Amino acid sequence: MRKDEAHKPRVVIVGAGFGGLYAARELRRAAVHLTVADRRNHHLFQPLLYQVATANLAPEEIAQPIRVILRRQKNAHVVLGTVASINVNERKVLLRDGELDYDYLILAAGAVGSYFGHDDWKTWAPDLKDLKDALEIRRRILLAFERAEREPDQVKRDGLLTFVIVGGGPTGVELAGALAEISRHVMVQDFRAIDPREARILLVEGGTCILPEYSKDLSEKAEAALKKMGVEVLNNSKVTLVNQDGVFIGNRHIRTDTVFWAAGVRASPLGQSLATPLDRTGRVLVEPDLSIPGHPEVYVIGDLATLLDHAAHPIPGVAPAAIQMGRHAAQNIMRACEGKPSEPFRYFDKGSLATIGRANAVAVWSGQAIRLCRLERMVGHPHFLPDRISEPTRCDL
């Protein structure tokens, strides 16, 4: 640290996702020494990971180096490293290969995939959390069609052309829709021994409906749209086993060589090192100003935080919420540096959206449940966010 920075408050941001980066940008004019630490050297636009997984986008279209993003922010320093734990008493971020001292901390470590105690299933059913996962899913999809083209045994060929997606949330719905698009349209002329349109795509949901966070009407419309595309939607279907032979739903066996996991997430284990109350998914129960009890210098935001909004509903783990939290935590730090009290966080719901294939989506927009169409120019853009929709086009099923 240079001499002219020695007296400045040290702010460390762990995680360069939406929340972490927007917090960093909010501090761009603050008189602080800012360090952004992440285990990856790039920011990832996670909402479009499924597009990479289905070969609609290249990896570089949804990833950008963190150093490039913060290149012109003179008070920001980027550290590539894996954070092992947080020592709130000594105000240290402990890396696997070092440590970072802080005066203020913003923890934006996000969430990881959850297999609900069956982590061994990951071998057969990868989840979709980073570029490595997306490329592995892409590899399995393309390889399944290639192997089916050369497979003379009809039973084995059927298994190769059966794709099972576990989890009917936005990720599962988007992945199923994209997979239906490429098998029904993109690949139709590419093979001679098989017809890709005969691929069987199953979306398995343990609850009563897909997209449970949306209204019943939108959930039903999304299911109808998927079925129209050829996707089989299995509600009230709990997966009991995933192995090399396929998927078991109860006692029912579905033979498949390709399974993808989109059934749930759990908070980053870093929250456990804070020695503060957590909810059942491991998220940190934060104070109204996003700090943790007993440590007003530590803020937790995004998927790692749990807080009720003004209507007593949990703030959702979506990008717009993380962005708002990141900005607010940064503003509270600037207030603290000026000797001012922190202010409580107020979440503004900008809406939510789940795409179904290339040109359809269901969304909650300004409090209204609507279905959208003709979205190609928006969902294919790496900087697309639900709050950027303008003049949405409604369409009937």
Provide the pLDDT for residue 382. Answer: 36
pTM of the model: 0.89
CATH homologous superfamily of 119-260? FAD/NAD(P)-binding domain (3.50.50.60)
Secondary structure (3-state) at 85? strand
Please state the domain extents for the chain: 3-113+265-337, 119-260
Q: CA 372, CA 356: separation in Å to the nearest integer?
A: 10
Q: Which of 85, 87, 88 is nearest to 96 (CA)?
A: 85
| Domain 119-260 in the same topology as domain 3-113+265-337 | yes
> What are the 10-residue block averages of pLDDT along the chain, 397 residues in total?
70 98 98 98 95 95 97 97 98 97 98 93 96 97 98 97 97 96 94 97 97 91 95 97 96 97 93 95 96 98 93 88 98 98 94 80 69 45 35 37
C-alpha–C-alpha distance, residues 184 and 197, integer Å: 5
pLDDT, residue 353, reads: 83
Predicted confidence at residue 5, as pLDDT, reads 58
Is the sign of the CA dihedral 94, 95, 101, 107 positive or negative?
A: negative
Q: What is the DSSP string of 173-241?
A: HHHHHHHHHIIIIISTTT-SS--GGG-EEEEE-SSSSSSTTS-HHHHHHHHHHHHHTTEEEE-S--EEE
CATH assignment, 3-113+265-337: 3.50.50.60
Question: Which DSSP helix (H) or strand (E) runs through 249?
Answer: strand 246-249
pLDDT score of 377: 37
Q: Phi and psi at residue 70, in whole multiples of 5°?
A: -100, 15
Q: Which pairing describes strands 239-243 and 200-204: parallel, antiparallel, or unpaired?
A: unpaired
> Which residues are tagged catalytic?
174
DSSP class of residue 118 equals -
Helix (H) or strand (E) holding 46: none
Sequence-distant (≥ 6) Cβ neighbours of residue 104 within 8 angstroms: 9, 10, 11, 12, 32, 297, 298, 299, 333, 336
- Short-list 292, 289, 288, 287, CA closest to 271: 292
